[in-house]
Amino acid sequence: MSEFAAYVIHGAAKVTPTVLQRVARHLPAWKLEFTQIAAPKFPHLVDQLEFLADAVEDFAEGAYQDLPYYAAAQAVFALTYAHKKVDIVPDLIPDSGRADDSSVVRAVLISNEAAFSAYAEWSGADWNAITSKP
């Protein structure tokens, strides 16, 4: 297991239903924030964050209940991590500032590929466009 995957599992273990609902309330604003990410070395990051945000919103609102809670919790952890201004690699560092964000998001997508590909099919999202690549 990669260090990022272990980090995600550890962080997601702290995501309670209350935390999930609180994050879900912030997601419309966070989605706007995520669209402003300029990370050419991580071209899929914005789409991946939007996809995870949509999945959490649909789960929290009860529109999609087939997502396992652990996958939703890991998505919440990844979204919260990407939203934070201070993390392992500061986002302001040119070219590499979003490397850690991308790694956390990819760890969530890879660890929960079956669950999120099923969600993508349900929601009409193109799973191949979301991809687990940087």
Q: Per-residue pLDDT averaged across 9-28, rounded? A: 97
pLDDT at 87 over 90: no
pLDDT at 53 over 80: yes
pTM: 0.92
Supply the pLDDT for residue 75. 98
Altogether, the residues listed in the chain come to a count of: 134
pLDDT at 35 over 70: yes
- For the chain, state the CA radius of gyration: 14
pLDDT at 76 over 60: yes
Among 32-36, 56-60, 90-94, 96-100, the range scoring the smallest mean pLDDT is: 90-94
